[in-house]
Amino acid sequence: MPTNIINGKEIASAIKFEIAEELRKIKNNTGKEAGLAVILVGNDPASTVYVRNKKKACQEVGIRSSEYHLPKETQQDTLLNLINSLNQNPEIHGILVQLPLPNHIQSDKIINSINPDKDVDGFHPINVGKLVANTASLISCTPLGVMTLLDKSEIPVEGKKVVIVGRSNIVGKPAALLFLHRNATVTICHSKTKNLSDYTNKADILVAAIGKPAFIKADMVKKGAVVIDVGINRDEAGLIGDVDFTEVKERTSYITPVPGGVGPMTIAMLMKNTLIAFKNTLNKDLN
Ligand code: GUN
């Protein structure tokens, strides 16, 4: 069976095109534009690239983006005050604080201070709770991107054995809930899982979100499986995923590459969440 390489870049472009159309229509009808605030504290090189890409995507779809680049030594209260003023600002519909934050800042305090209606990352406990209850409108962008890639590639999820390697709040845990809501049978593995390949080898859909370059090898993957690589690791050669793409792709029915797989989808989903948050405010204005 030949492997299908899922083109995340192309799927993300098509989604951004649809979002741009919808935003254009809303602007024509109401004169209103969506606004996203992106906050970066410090100069972490990976975060700087992510923030640049997010800003570029905003320009592509017609979202007004305001970037707040604060120095590494910024005090927690300064950041809380900025978020508070963005919470109050009616022209800002989405607020994103790029993680990780410097160690002297408590990330949970910062996330909790964002108005849940503007939490386009879906990290606020209210939005996490709604995700558990399957009533969420703002869902963490990377897991949402993974699910959208599967849907657009017409890969069925219901009844499948899904194994997720990685249990982060940003990817592993919300991904598990999304798959569960789609009637998959979900297993979450992590760094303390014993005999990991016993689990990964049973997966119809394997999601790698470990943060270790080329960690998933061919002998850990069932023949014909779908493999989704969420990893973004950097080495001298450039970006490398959590999956050993060259050897694993020989065994899969579908696989995502790095770069050009999940990464562009995360950003497309951020645009989608900003559109949702914006539309929610328009609907509130009508009521
Ligand atoms: N750092 C790594 N991934 C993410 C993400 O999806 N959102 C934010 N805010 N920071 C991140």
Closest residue (by CA) to atom 11 of ligand 1?
A: 99
**Is 54 designated active site?**
yes
Cα(99) to centroid(ligand 1), Å: 5
Q: What single string gives the DSSP state of each residue in 167-209?
A: --TTTHHHHHHHHHHTT-EEEEE-TT-SSHHHHHTT-SEEEE-
- Judge if the beta carbon of residue 121 lies within 6 A of ligand 1: yes
Q: What is the pLDDT of residues 119-143, one digit of tens each?
A: 999 999 999 999 999 999 999 999 9
Instruction: Give the closest residue to 268 by CA, choosing from 8, 10, 15.
Output: 15
Which entry of 16, 118, 119, 121 is annotated as an active-site residue?
121
Ligand 1 atom, smallest distance to 266 CA? 6
Rounded to whole angstroms, how far apart are CA atoms 66 and 163?
A: 38
Interhelix angle 8-30/141-152, rounded to 10 degrees, is 110
pTM of the full structure: 0.97
Instruction: Give the C-alpha separation, 122 to 116, whole Å.
Output: 8
Ligand 1: centre distance to CA 166 (Å)? 15
> Tokens for 205?
């859909």
Nearest CA to ligand 1 atom 4: 99
Catalytic site includes residue 121 = yes
**CB-CB contact of 115 with 87 (8 Å):** yes
Nearest CA, atom 8, ligand 1: 98
Residue 98 CA, ligand 1 centroid: distance in Å: 5
Q: What is the pLDDT of residues 148-185, one digit of tens each?
A: 999 999 999 999 999 999 999 999 999 999 999 999 99
d(CA 101, ligand 1 centre) in Å? 10
**Catalytic annotation on 98?**
yes
Given a cut of 70, the residues of the chain with pLDDT beneath it are: 1, 287
